[in-house]
Amino acid sequence: MSCENLESIVKSCDNNSGGVFKVYINQQDNIDGFTLDSAPNSWTIDSITLIGGGDLYTEFEIRRNTGSYTEDAAIDLVNGSSYVTATISLMFHRRDQSKSQAIKVLGAGQQYLNAIIQDANGKYWYFPYLQLSAVGEGSGTARADGSKYSVTLIAENDFLAYEVDSTIIAALIA
């Protein structure tokens, strides 16, 4: 028995770039829900609803070539279970009190967060139920190393990240 019909993957002729340009983060508790585009088999979010009085997304600025995300599927053929581990890695340069405080708030109470990430291809991706799982780095050794923070957010979800319609981003950010 087939659960779903197969869908083709077409080779793209577009340029393909890696990396992260922008990161917007919100507390998961501020999200009332989202809807997918009504087109058949669409995996694109065309609206995200915030709870009444919920905060807008906060932008976390990173430098070029310092942010990434990965999605790794864990598929257990014996138990019939599957999930995707999403890992977002961010680097914030020049350590200071305000960045330390912002990172502490991200991890407060091991709260659930969600993020919208703009990748280097201009696509936006939605990652729900993230948690701050690691913070590292420091002063560096040589003067040219600079000081920095590395931050890792992790989620385990039933699906790969959904693409977000770029036209809804402006209404969601602070």
Residue at 13 is within a domain: no
SS3 122: coil
Closest C-alpha among 43, 131, 120 to residue 87? 131
Is residue 31 within 8 Å of residue 52, measured between CB atoms? no
51: pLDDT strictly greater than 80: yes
pLDDT digits (tens, 9 = 90+) for 15-47: 778 889 999 999 999 999 999 987 777 789 999
Q: What is the mean pLDDT of residues 72-92?
A: 94
Q: How far apart are CA 147 and CA 99, in angstroms?
A: 12
Residue at 100 is within a domain: yes
Looking at the chain, the whole-number percentage of residues with pLDDT higher than 90 is 70
Tell me what pLDDT residue 1 has.
Answer: 60
Mean pLDDT of the residues in the chain: 91
Residue at 152 is within a domain: yes
Is residue 104 within 8 Å of residue 132, measured between CB atoms? no
Residue at 14 is within a domain: no
Give strand ranges (E) for 1-158.
20-27, 31-36, 44-50, 58-60, 68-76, 81-93, 113-119, 124-136, 148-157
Most confident option among 43-57, 134-148, 150-164: 150-164
Q: What is the mean pLDDT of residues 75-91?
A: 93
Tell me what pLDDT residue 174 has.
Answer: 67
Domain that holds residue 78: 20-168
Between 3 and 26, the more confident residue is: 26
Task: Give, in order, the Cα–Cα distances in Å from 156 to each of 52, 60, 68, 86, 129.
Answer: 27, 22, 17, 6, 7
Between 13 and 131, the more confident residue is: 131
**What's the structural domain count of the chain?**
1
- For residue 69, the domain's CATH number is 2.30.110
Phi-psi region of 167 (alpha: psi -120 to 50; beta: other; left: phi over 0): alpha
Is residue 20 within 8 Å of residue 69, measured between CB atoms? yes
Residue at 5 is within a domain: no
Tell me what pLDDT residue 72 has.
Answer: 96
